[in-house]
A and B are shown apart, each in its own frame.
Chain A
């Protein structure tokens, strides 16, 4: 079964600094997709970034970028120029077209220090 592991339950970063959140996954599929979702205190889930496994180029969305290492099954999220509004739970997620399940990791709580 596919699994998603986030090994950092909590992290802190100074405002305007850069932080990297880690995610590893286990799968035997070659075609799959990876996501990072953000959950602020409002509890609303927000898609941050999406990566297609067959694309070698790392996805980027403004201050958010990923480091996708397919061979290592690693999918880390880098947040540049951290802002107070980035404080939230961040979830890594995986899906493959073969079974349509979307599996989430346990999450990393990110604190932004002013």
Chain B
């Protein structure tokens, strides 16, 4: 079983470019989350979703957009990439509530130059 799959694993963007980070889970989980991890800063919540068609902002949503058209997929869109968005991005999911174990993807290392 695949669990939470993130693509790509690595990406280099030029300033001003756009891209979509893909996240798919095959566990029929309702809750999905996007985090960014910067050295010394822990994980910061970007956006989250409690089910298909429902999304909400986290702690650091500026510069990002999400959609949740299906239960399985939760893509993260970066518009007009900036150096400040250089980070490791993690997607995570849980089955029915936020108080359950989170299943994490393996992360996407993004550099904006």
Contacts and interface: CB of A to CB of B under 8 A. Distances in A.
A95 B101 CA distance: 11
A91 B98 contact: no
B interface, over-half SS: strand
B107 A43 contact: yes
Given A43-B107, A105-B42, A100 B98 contact: yes
Nearest to A108: B42
B81 interface: no
Interface residues of A, number: 23
A44 to B, nearest CB: 6
A101 B102 contact: no
Nearest to A107: B42
Given A43-B107, A44-B106, A47-B101, 19 more contacts: A6-B42, A9-B40, A37-B102, A43-B106, A44-B104, A45-B92, A45-B102, A50-B99, A52-B99, A91-B42, A96-B98, A100-B50, A100-B56, A102-B48, A104-B35, A104-B42, A104-B43, A104-B45, A105-B42
Interface of B: 31, 33, 35, 40-45, 48, 50, 56, 58-59, 88, 90, 92, 97-99, 101-102, 104, 106-107
